[in-house]
Structure 1
Amino acid sequence: MTKRTSTSRTLPWFARPGARTWRCDAVPAEVRAFHTTLPDYAPTPLTELPALAAEFGVGRVVVKDESSRLGLPAFKALGASWAVQRVLDDRAAGGAAPGPVTLVTATDGNHGRAVARMARLLGQQAHVFVPRGVHPAAVAAIVAEEVEVTEVPGPYDEAVRLAAEEAAVPDAVLVQDTAWPGYERIPGWIVEGYSTLCAEIDEQLTAAGVVGGPDLVAVPVGVGSLAQAVIAHYRSRPSGHAPALLSVEPEAAACVLESLTRGEPVSVTTGDTTMAGLNCGTPSSIAWPYLHGGLDAAVAVTDADSARAAEDLAAFGVSSGPCGAATLAGLRAALTGEGAEERRTALGLGPASVVVLLSTEGTAANPRSATDH
C-alpha cells in the first residue's frame, strides 16, 4: 500500500506490510572468501553515532562507512572484483582464446572506476561510457586508470545502451551493474559481490554486543543492485529476527519508489541531482523481484536533504558523498514531520532499535559533495 504524508511538501513514501516474511535463496559463501584473498581487502568501519540515535529516538545508529574499499572510495569494487574474476574464469573454462579481453561498462562514476581498476590490475582492457552530469573530477579518476572513456551527452540509460552495443564484438564483455531480459548473469555476479558488505556488518554488530542483528537497514538505490544484495542477505534466513529494509532515492530519479507504487517495474524520466550515482531511470530486471518482495518501505529525498546529511556525517567524522549520505537523509525524512509515527510503526522501530545506514561512498568518490551544498 502507498502512504503519502506531508510536512511543507508531500513526502514521496511507500510502505508494504509483510516484507519481513518474504524469503529468497542465500548468496554463495565463497564470495566473502574470494574478497579476503585480495591484497587490499579489509572490512570497512562500522561507526556508531549516539547523537543520531538520540535524534531519532532509537537505541543505536551505526554507519557502514564505504569511503575506502579495496583502494577505491566506494563499495562498488566488491561487485566489480567478483564479477570480473567470474567472467575471466568462465571464459577460460569455455576454451576462449588466451589474450586480453575488453571489459565494457556504463557508469555514473564508482562502478566504472572499479571495473577499470580491476581491468588494469588483471592485465585486461576496459572501455567506460559516462553519461552527462557526472563531475569532471569523477571522469578524470576513471581516465587515470588508463582505460578508454567515452562521455555520452545523454542520461545513464543511454550510456548503458551504447556500452551494450560496444560490447557486442568478439573479445569484449559487458560488465554492467544493471540487468534486463537476456542480460542477467553478470549483473547477478556483481550483486553477489556486494554481499560481503552485509557479512561484515553482521560480524561487527556481534562484536559490538548487538544480539540478533539490526532492526532497520537503510540502503541507497539507483537501479537496485545493492538493495538486491542487502535483501538477499537478510531475507534468505529461514527463521529468526528479520530487519526492516528501507530504500532511499533522489526525488529526481525515484524509479524504484514509482515501480513499487505501481506494482510493476517502470522507467521514469530522470532529472539533475547531486546524487549522481543514484540517477537511474529503470530498475534492474533481476533486482525487481527482490525489491518488490523484500523492501518494507521506500522514500525519495531532495539534494538539499542529502547535502545536510553529508554535512552532519562529516561533523561526526564520516566522509560521505551525496549518495552515501542519502540514507541518513531518508531516515530523517521518514522519522520526522507529519505522519512520522505512522512511518515509524511501518518500520517497526522502538526506543531500543538498532539502525544501520549504508554510506556507500566517500567525498572523494563524488566531488559534488564538497562543492554543491
Structure 2
Amino acid sequence: MTPQTDRPRFYFNPGAQTFDVQVEPDVLDFHRKLPGYMPTPLVRAPRLAAALGVAEAWVKDESSRLGLPAYKMLGASWATYRELDVRFGPFARCSSLEEQAAHLVSYRPLTLVAATDGNHGRAVARMARWLGLDAHILVPGDMVTARVQAIEQEGAQVQVVQGSYDDAVEASARLADATHLVISDTAWDGYTRVPGWVSAGYSTIFQETDTQLVEHGVRQPDLVAVQMGVGSLAAAAVGHYRARGGKSQVVGVEPTLAACVLRSLTAGQLTEVPGPHTSIMAGLNCGNTSPLAWPLLQGGLSASVAIHDERAEQAMRLLAMDDVESGESGAAGVGGLLELLTGPEAAVTRRRLGVTAQSTVLAISTEGATDPEAYARIVSGS
C-alpha cells in the first residue's frame, strides 16, 4: 500500500445513492430567532471557477455565522436546544432564548460539555452563555493558543487533554451525568441523539443556499465539495443534495493524515486512522468517523479525497482573491476541488465525476481566520 503521506488519495463511488431524508422543519425558524441571525453570503467566485476550469464556482461563506467565525453554531445551538427540551422541557413552541433560560433556572447548576478542535466547542460555550449555563470544553494538547483563548472568552472552563481530538471525545463522554450534558457532533455506542441533531442543524446552510441560488437565477450545482472531520457536515450535505430526486454529486474532503472517512470507504467498514493528526486543517484532525454519519457517507458520496496542507494553503490564497476569508479548515473543500479537477490525475477524476467546462460547483467555506497570524502568513505567501 502506498504510504498515506506520499500523495493525495481518492475513492470513487459511481453508484452514489439517493435517500429519503426528513429535514426537521423547525431548524431554520429556530436559527432565525437567535441573536444576530442573517443568511451567510453565497459568493460567486470567478477566479476559482477559472482555476478549476468550470463555468461557475460558488462559495457559501461561513466566516461570520451568528457572531462566530464558523458554521458550527448552527449544529451546536439546535442540538443544545433539543437536548435541553428533552431533558428539562418541554419549552413553549417557538420560545425565545430568554424564555428557555428562564425555564432552566430551577434546574441549575447545569453544564454543557463538548470536545473540540476549536469551533464546535466555542459554539457550545456561546450557547451556554446565552442560556445562563456553565460550559466545560475539552481540547487536544496541540490546539493553538488563539483558539483556546477564544473559547475561554466565552466564559467556558477549558480542559487540555494530553492527546488527540479523539482522546478529548473519550474524556468528554466520561463527564456525562445528570447535570453535565455532552453536546458532541460525533456519535458512539449509546450516544446518537445529540449528534443527529447537530447534523440536522447544518441543514440551514443548504436551505439558505437553495434560496440564494434561485435569487441569482442559477440552477443547482453539479458538484458540491464539503469538508469531513467526523462527517456530520458531510452527512448533512449528502442528506440535502442526494435526497430523492437530487442530482448534485457530493465529494468529501479531509487531510491526508486524518483521512478516516476515506480509509473507511476503502476498507468498506469504519476504520480508525491513529494519530498524531498534525494537519493545519485543525478542525478536520479526526481519527474516527461518526457511526451516525457513516451510512450517508458510504452510500451518498460520489468521491472522497484526502489532501495535503499545501492544497489548503493554495485554496486559502485563491479564495482571498475572490474576497472570501477562509481559514485552513474552511478552505479544505476548495482544496479538494483543486486536487480533483486540476491535480496530476485531473483528466481521470474529471471524467469519473462528469465535470466539464460547462459545470457548476459549490464549496462550503466553513470558517474564517480562526488563527489570524497563520492566516496572514499563508495568504501573503511569506
Which residue, 311, 317, 335 being the options, matches 1:329? 335
Which residue, 249, 255, 274 being the options, matches 2:254? 249
Supply the distance in 1 between the matched residues of 2:173 and 2:260 (Cα, whole angstroms): 21
**Alpha-carbon shift at residue 56 of structure 1 (Å):** 1.8
Supply the distance in 1 between the matched residues of 2:241 and 2:22 (Cα, whole angstroms): 9
The aligned residue for residue 14 of structure 1 is 11
What secondary structure does 1:71 align onto? coil
**Alpha-carbon shift at residue 11 of structure 1 (Å):** 3.1
The aligned residue for residue 352 of structure 1 is 358
Identity of aligned residues (%): 48
Cα pair distance change 1:117/1:314, threshold 3 Å: same
The aligned residue for residue 98 of structure 2 is none
Which residue, 40, 47, 55 being the options, matches 2:43? 47
Supply the distance in 2 between the matched residues of 1:346 and 1:70 (Cα, whole angstroms): 38
**Alpha-carbon shift at residue 156 of structure 1 (Å):** 0.5
What secondary structure does 1:356 align onto? strand
Cα pair distance change 1:352/1:257, threshold 3 Å: same
Which residue, 154, 157, 168 being the options, matches 2:166? 157
**Pairing 1:264–2:273 present:** no
Residues 110 and 365 in structure 1, CA contact (< 8 A), matched pair in contact too: no
Structure 1: give runs of 5+ residues left out of the alignment.
none
Which residue, 146, 160, 172 being the options, matches 1:137? 146
Supply the distance in 1 between the matched residues of 2:374 and 2:297 (Cα, whole angstroms): 28
**Alpha-carbon shift at residue 94 of structure 1 (Å):** 7.4
Per-residue deviation, residues 323-353 of structure 1 (Å, max 9, x unmatched): 0111111111111233312211222212221
What secondary structure does 2:273 align onto? coil
Q: Which amino acid aligns with 1:268?
A: V
Residues 132 and 155 in structure 1, CA contact (< 8 A), matched pair in contact too: yes
Residues 274 and 369 in structure 1, CA contact (< 8 A), matched pair in contact too: no
Supply the distance in 2 between the matched residues of 1:178 and 1:69 (Cα, whole angstroms): 21
Supply the distance in 2 between the matched residues of 1:279 and 1:11 (Cα, whole angstroms): 16
**Alpha-carbon shift at residue 371 of structure 1 (Å):** 4.2
The aligned residue for residue 94 of structure 2 is none
**Pairing 1:108–2:117 present:** yes
Per-residue deviation, residues 58-88 of structure 1 (Å, max 9, x unmatched): 1100111000000000000000111111122
The aligned residue for residue 307 of structure 1 is 313
**Alpha-carbon shift at residue 26 of structure 1 (Å):** 2.3
Residues 8 and 256 in structure 2, CA contact (< 8 A), matched pair in contact too: no
**Alpha-carbon shift at residue 366 of structure 1 (Å):** 6.6
The aligned residue for residue 99 of structure 2 is none
**Alpha-carbon shift at residue 252 of structure 1 (Å):** 1.1
What secondary structure does 2:58 align onto? strand
**Alpha-carbon shift at residue 30 of structure 1 (Å):** 1.1
What secondary structure does 1:118 align onto? helix
Supply the distance in 1 between the matched residues of 2:292 and 2:36 (Cα, whole angstroms): 30
Cα pair distance change 1:107/1:26, threshold 3 Å: same
Which residue, 107, 129, 134 being the options, matches 1:125? 134
**Alpha-carbon shift at residue 265 of structure 1 (Å):** 0.7
Residues 118 and 139 in structure 2, CA contact (< 8 A), matched pair in contact too: yes
Supply the distance in 2 between the matched residues of 1:289 and 1:367 (Cα, whole angstroms): 38
Which residue, 201, 213, 224 being the options, matches 1:217? 224
Cα-Cα RMSD: 1.9
- TM-score, reference length from structure 1: 0.93
- TM-score, reference length from structure 2: 0.91
Per-residue deviation, residues 137-182 of structure 1 (Å, max 9, x unmatched): 1000000011111011100111011111112x22111100101121
Please list, as runs of the form range in 1=range in 2, the aligned pairs for 1:40-119 lying within 5 A after superposition.
40-93=36-89, 98-119=107-128
Please list, as runs of the form range in 1=range in 2, the aligned pairs for 1:26-41 lying within 5 A after superposition.
26-41=22-37
Supply the distance in 2 between the matched residues of 1:170 and 1:89 (Cα, whole angstroms): 14
**Matched residue pairs, number?**
362
What secondary structure does 1:130 align onto? strand
Supply the distance in 1 between the matched residues of 2:373 and 2:281 (Cα, whole angstroms): 11
The aligned residue for residue 96 of structure 2 is none
Per-residue deviation, residues 70-110 of structure 1 (Å, max 9, x unmatched): 00000000001111111221122379962241100100000
Q: Which amino acid aligns with 2:146?
A: A
Cα pair distance change 1:162/1:171, threshold 3 Å: same
The aligned residue for residue 195 of structure 1 is 203
